[in-house]
Amino acid sequence: MKKILVAVLALALMMTACLASAEDTIKLGGISPLTGPAAVYGLDVQAGVDYAIEEINANGGVLGKKVELIWRDDMHDPATSINMYNQLMDEKVVAFIGPVTTAPTIAVYDVAAKDNIPCISPSASAYEVTNAGNNLFRACFLDPYQAGIAAQYAVESLGAKSVAIIYDNSNDYTLGLYDAFVAKAGELGLEIVATEVGTAGQADYSAQISKLADAEPDAIYAAQYAQEIAIMLPQMFDAGLDETPIIGPDGFSGVDGQIGEDVHLLANCVYTSAFSLDSTGDVAVKFIEGFTAKTGAAPALFNALGYDATMIMAQAIEKAGSTDKDAIIAALDATDIEGATGHMTFDDHNDPIKSVFVIGFNEEGAETLKTVVDPS
């Protein structure tokens, strides 16, 4: 009898400890492509988020509790992303960081809107991402905004009067960029002299690039991801486009790490970004120094977006004073924060109002800040 009593007491103590541990922890769900074709972005986001969680917990957590983030890999696949979302909902998370890429985020957010759970994507930039509900936010600027800035930069900074475009019409991200760039080019009187489609996964884009070269544009807008750009650049040089300015979107980030020693390929490249290592803001400088010291490598755009998305969510939960969904959503809507990517508030579409950095490359292939475009 005594042994049974001791066992019961031990079990009760274990259950109490588990309950206390759960009560002392705020669980967040993280969905990101940690493997597969978009892992280069997902892993960068994960590193930025994890760094933010470590910093938050080192500074006392949120509402006096430790923050735990549970990761799930969606492999850049919408159906998998929904499955990961459902798994995390079963884990009783109070909010989500992610998904990361556009198509999985749209798929998950259609479901998350019905559950009214707070979500913030670090980097899904298509306009329709936040359409489904007022609980859905993002830390990055929109594709239409950055594409419009790219067209503006071509005209105002490069003096371009004509442009050629290469994009992927099977991808929501690049398709949205293309549509917005064309619209803004029309407003600015920028003539589009050639348009070609390059699908992700191609090993050879020379046929499309040859047609771009034949059009003799003043600049090229390459609405593509870094993996494709890294393949295209040597083929562009071979086609005689070695002195033609090439403008890319934020998905261009990381291309310098994919071209090996051929840094000369980047000489005429720029891209629109939400982050620059040359940022002088207090939060940005602290983040850059801390992340570099922690990881041994300077942060990239998707590291910074992951960091900011996490800090925005943590601030909202703290301001809400609880993990009540509606209170967190209201606090997210009222966000006013200085992040690694600059100062941010949200508009009526739950999109951040923030600056755009135009990034180029120096002779060593390192990123350099060309100019900053502030929101008007």
pLDDT in tens, 274-285: 899 999 889 999
259 C-beta neighbours (distance < 10 Å), count: 18
| Phi, psi values for residue 370, rounded to 5° | -85, -50
Q: What is the pLDDT of residue 320?
A: 98
Domains of the chain: 7-141+280-354 (3.40.50.2300), 144-273 (3.40.50.2300)
**What pLDDT is recorded for position 376?**
57
CB 337 within 8 A of CB 315: yes
Residue 257's contacts (CB-CB under 8 Å, 6 or more residues apart) are none
Indicate if the pLDDT at residue 94 is higher than 60: yes
231-242: pLDDT as tens digits: 999 999 999 999
For 163-196, the pLDDT digits (tens) are 999 999 998 889 999 999 999 999 999 999 999 9
Question: What is the residue type of 97?
Answer: I
pLDDT at 21 over 70: no
Mean per-residue pLDDT over the chain, rounded? 92
What phi and psi values does residue 57 have, to the nearest 5 degrees? Answer: -70, -35
User: Which three-class secondary structure state does DSSP give residue 46?
Assistant: helix
Q: Write down the residue that tokens 């920028």 correspond to.
A: 190
